[in-house]
Chains A and B, each alone.
Chain A
Amino acid sequence: MPPIITVHQLSKQFAEIHAVSDLSFTVNEGDVYGFLGQNGAGKSTTIRMLLTLIKPSSGQIKIFGKDLSTHRHEILQKIGAVIEKPDLYKYLTAYQNLSIFARISGIKANRTMLMNQLEQVGLAERAHSKVKTFSQGMKQRLGIAVALIHNPDLIILDEPTNGLDPQGIADIRQLILQLSKEKGKTILVSSHLLSEIELIANRIIIIDKGKKIVEGYSAELLDPAKTIVQIETTDNKVAIEQLALSKWKEQIVSSPNGIRLQMNKNAIPDLVKDAVEMNINILAIQPRHSLEDYFLSLTTRPHHVDTTAN
């Protein structure tokens, strides 16, 4: 697949703060690209640079194979975005907001087209209500309608599930998957809710303090060899001392609550057998494959692991 976004050694400095440092990544056509990081990691700054809201201090951004700094207009015509909070004109109706942004995006949207778009995000019945009467979730959905109204090839969603209830989150997830699978859109979606990203993204980047920690395919990052196993015992302190003297000592990772080992999932029976032999009384053992554990294990370590394929 050809690259849609190519970011090369991108940096942004605000006074003394390095918001983004030497960040490089590639989003390929058709990807649902998960952009992960804790709050303040530099996700939004990066996204704002992709949308020309912020000028990079250094580095290069190419989108659709063209330099963003010289082909801004042409590139932005093919991008739809929700940037952080879905703020819209509160004193206008949903329909009026959508109509305005359709016109600004350069398309002549008729009533049917606008209503269909509102229908897609479940707001058709509130089309003529002022946005100031909307809940956060409704504003979020309207923001997505605004992002999609001009049928963009690349969709950038910055924290799209913020403020949504569980059903709203599921709806957005469904919409993203639908846009990717049925319409072949390339989607970059940022979030700090890692459990959400792992359900939709085929490729993932994790950034922390403006730097890339890891980038790769979801399947690769969820490799069984990197399973986090959490153990609860009757005496965790003694158990961890015994494990530290055994062959498992290399697998022990930081464990503020209980004992955690990073290991191959297939080796769990051996671990249990050894624990019994060491008289460790296991109360519970839980293998966790979620990217959230992986993310936390990476971002709490002092060193960074780079398994990027690029």
Chain B
Amino acid sequence: MWTLLQIELFKIFKKPRTYLAFAIIAAFIFLIQVGLMVNGKDWMKFILAGLDETMDMEYDKLINGYAVCFFVLNLLLVHVPILVALVAGDLVSGEASMGTLRLLAAKPISRTQIILAKYFAAGIYVFALLLWIAIISLVFSIAVFGVNDLVVAKQNGIQLIEANDILWRYFCAFGFAYIAMMVVAAIALLLSTLSENSIGPIVATVGIIIVCTLVSEMEIPIYQHYIKPYLFTTYMLGWKGFFYIGSNAEGETVKGSIEYLPAILKSMTALLLYIIGLVGAAVFVFRKKDILS
């Protein structure tokens, strides 16, 4: 299994397509960082318009490395699934269209091993992708903008997180995002086992994410009550929960706390169940598949 995983990783990281995602992410984050460096203060004033009449706002301090990273994640994590689908959707179907799947499946390795090795390899790719985002959006932003308290907008106002209470929340957020992206990888892998060309699974994965996101966001009772609880997209943005601080009985924020921890844990459980179900289905389909490519 370890050998197979090494080989899958070798194949993934030998494809030029793999590095496209890293380049796109770097370019995107760089554009945000430059924009915030030039016009960050004005932008923050616009976002917090009206609040400076009741609070003393130090805009220079509010544009810091943590804030830039938070802004980047809000914009970027919605689009990372496309980049994940680009690689995971190609894992089986790419081999089928290239004709190498029959060579692979005729070797003394089980089909379950092939699928699991591909999924674990996709997991390492997703990890590398998120690590890359973390390095550029967090580490690089901290180096350029420095560190300070983070202002987070909530439904009922804003909340200030102290600088020394933030970093661990980013680790948790990236961990959660990893699980969410692995659901996307599992969907793409399952679709990849059903197709003999790469484009189909990639487009279908992105299509599923778009449709599910739209249904999740629609405030229509039938969707809200009967469909939304079962959609993976309902749980994918749970990483934001790590940036909502819990309060005590007096309404004061408690440092080191998370306001909706049970909801986050529920989301993580739902996503993990999705992963198990989808990967299980991919294994089942691939084991039954007649390889005709």
Contacts and interface: CB of A to CB of B under 8 A. Distances in A.
Given A81-B106, A105-B107, A54 B15 contact: no
Nearest to A83: B102
Contacts of B292: 48, 53-54
Contact of B100 (A52, A77, A84, A89): A89
Interface stretch (B2-10, B40-48, B181-189): B2-10
A105 B106 CA distance: 10
Contact of A52 (B4, B7, B105): B105
A89 B15 CA distance: 10
B291 interface: yes
Interface string A72-90: 1110110101011101111
A81 B103 CA distance: 8
A91 B16 contact: yes
A179 interface: no
B50 to A, nearest CB: 55
A54 B14 contact: no
Interface string A44-88: 000010011111000000000000000011101101010111011
A89 B11 contact: yes
Given A53-B105, A53-B106, A103 B7 contact: yes
Interface residues of A, number: 31
Contacts of A54: 290-292
Category for how many chain B residues contact A: 20 to 34
Contact of A88 (B14, B100, B110): B100
Nearest to B17: A91
A92 interface: yes
Contacts of A103: 3, 7
Nearest to A77: B108
A128 B47 CA distance: 56
A52 B105 CA distance: 8
Contacts of A52: 105-106
Contact of A146 (B10, B11, B98, B103): B103
Interface in A1-41: 14
Given A87-B99, A89-B98, A104 B16 contact: no
A101 interface: yes
Contacts of A81: 103, 106
A92 B11 CA distance: 8
Nearest to A87: B99
Contacts of A104: 3-4, 7, 104, 107, 109
Contact of B102 (A48, A73, A77, A106): A48
B100 A76 contact: no
Contacts of B290: 14, 48, 53-55
A100 interface: yes
Contacts of A92: 11, 14
A52 B111 CA distance: 10
A35 to B, nearest CB: 16
Contacts of A77: 108
Interface in A78-134: 79, 81, 83-85, 87-92, 96, 100-101, 103-106
A96 B291 CA distance: 24
A290 B290 CA distance: 36
Nearest to B109: A104
A92 B95 CA distance: 13
B80 to A, nearest CB: 24
A55 B290 CA distance: 6
B3 to A, nearest CB: 5
A48 to B, nearest CB: 7
A48 B15 contact: no
A139 to B, nearest CB: 10
Nearest to A51: B106
Interface in B76-102: 98-100, 102
Contacts of B15: 91
B107 A101 contact: yes
Given A73-B108, A76-B107, A101-B107, A53 B11 contact: no
Contact of A87 (B7, B98, B105, B108): B98
B284 to A, nearest CB: 14
B64 to A, nearest CB: 42
Given A87-B100, A91-B16, A92-B14, A100 B7 contact: yes
Interface of B: 3-4, 7, 10-11, 14-16, 98-100, 102-110, 288, 290-292
16 contacts: A52-B105, A53-B291, A54-B292, A55-B290, A76-B108, A79-B106, A83-B103, A87-B98, A87-B102, A88-B100, A89-B11, A90-B98, A91-B14, A100-B11, A103-B7, A104-B109
Q: Can you list the 3 inter-chain pairs with the closest CB atoms, starting with the nearest?
A: A87-B99, A51-B106, A76-B108
